[in-house]
Amino acid sequence: MTKILFICLGNICRSPMAEAVMKRKIAEYGLADKIQVNSAATSSWEHGNPVHHGTQAKLRENGIHDYTHFSRQVKSSDFTEYDWMICMDKSNLRNLKKMAPKDHHAKLEMLLSVLPEHELQEVPDPYFTGDFEETFGLVDAACEEWIKKLS
């Protein structure tokens, strides 16, 4: 079983979006017995809060109606529990590298690393940009490539 933890700053927009999209793709590809996902934050700012209403609306718009999540911060046990810790932006990656034991750095990755032809290297935060459509498009395309990479 491959375990993936998606990570962003607050765990209310991008990383829960990636978790929900990946869960749908896992179900579509029949990989529930092979891949497990969750999401977390590098900060405690939104701890315990539900998914942002903009993310929820975008997920529903794209046929994901049964997703529920409450923000949580990355904990030390995550570094041993998860095989991949996939970050939305370079700031998340830097913060995670400070938190992670050195022998776990190889499992830290950027979500868009599987889209090398794409001009963006980071997933823009719709909490600040308001563009949940752009974020969903990037997350969806990257999750599709991660499924291919891991299956």
Q: How would you classify residue 130: left for phi > 0, otherwise alpha for psi between -120 and 50, otherwise beta?
A: left
Tell me which residue has tokens 């030390």.
76
- Across the strands, what pairs with 108? 85
Give catalytic residue positions: 8, 14, 125
Q: Round to whole Å and give the CA distance between 134 and 23.
A: 20
